[in-house]
Structures are given as C-alpha cells and as structure tokens.
Amino acid sequence: RLMFHAYFQETLHERREAAYQIRAVTISFFLEDGTMKIVEPAVDNSGLEQGVLVRRQRIPMPDPVKYRFYDILDLNIGEEVEIFGRVYKIVDCDKFTRVFLNRMGIAVPDPINLPGDPYTKQRNV
C-alpha cells in the first residue's frame, strides 16, 4: 500500500480566536484493488472525532468528472484531492511510496511543511 501524509483545513464557526484548524491525516492507497482509506491519528484531549474519516473504498473523482476513480497517478506531494466535499493537500509520503513511484517513472517532489494551526496554537497558550 502507498501512504501519503496530508491535511485539510476545517473552518471553525464558533471560535473568534481562530477561524480555522489544520487537521493532519494519512491517505492510504491500496495497489491490489485501487481503494483508498483516510485516517486521522488520535490527538489526546483534542475534542475531535478522530480515527477513520473515510473507510476503505474506491473514491470517485468530484464533479464534473464522471465515471472515474482516483488512482496512483492522481496522488503526489503538492497535489490537492477533493474527497466527498473535503479538500486534502498531500504534503509527504513514506519511503516505500517514494521508491515505488520513482520506479514507475513518476517524480516525487520534496516534502512540504504543514501550515501553522492557529486553533492549536491558541489552545496551548
């Protein structure tokens, strides 16, 4: 399986101190059947529902693309993927994924730093 590190930005309507929160996730792509799974690692005392955000399944491309599912050519560092209305920005991958994609002739950019998270910063003050 290929593993990508990504994040999404969640708008916080009830907070004046921070308008949004950055939530890190892992996107897994299973080579044997083209399915994907998105998991958010647990963070103690976050008050968020975490764990499996998208169960393992084939993920359709968003409109206007019809009858096409995400595959390995759509996933790479720096890419944004929209999955069920939420946009994930891919920022890194594991070593196996990098080697696998390079052997397929797909260039893998350098990792991107996660953006700062004003909500977590405010909570830690």
pLDDT tens, position by position, 36-78: 999 998 776 556 667 899 999 999 998 888 889 999 999 999 9
Q: Which helix (H) or strand (E) holds 103?
A: helix 95-103
Model confidence over 75-95: pLDDT tens digits? Answer: 999 999 999 999 999 999 999
How far, in Å, CA of 91 to CA of 39, rounded? 15
CATH of domain 2-123: 2.30.29.170
Give the number of other Cβ atoms within 10 Å of residue 7's Cβ. 20
Domain boundaries, the chain: 2-123
Higher pLDDT: 14 or 110? It is: 110
Integer CA distances (angstroms), 117 to 38, 48, 51, in order: 20, 15, 19
2: nearest Cα among 21, 22, 19, 27: 27
- Order of strands across the sheet with 35-40? 51-57, 35-40, 20-30, 2-11, 86-93, 80-83
Q: Which residues contact 67 (CB under 8 A, 6 or more apart)?
A: none
pTM assigned to the model: 0.85
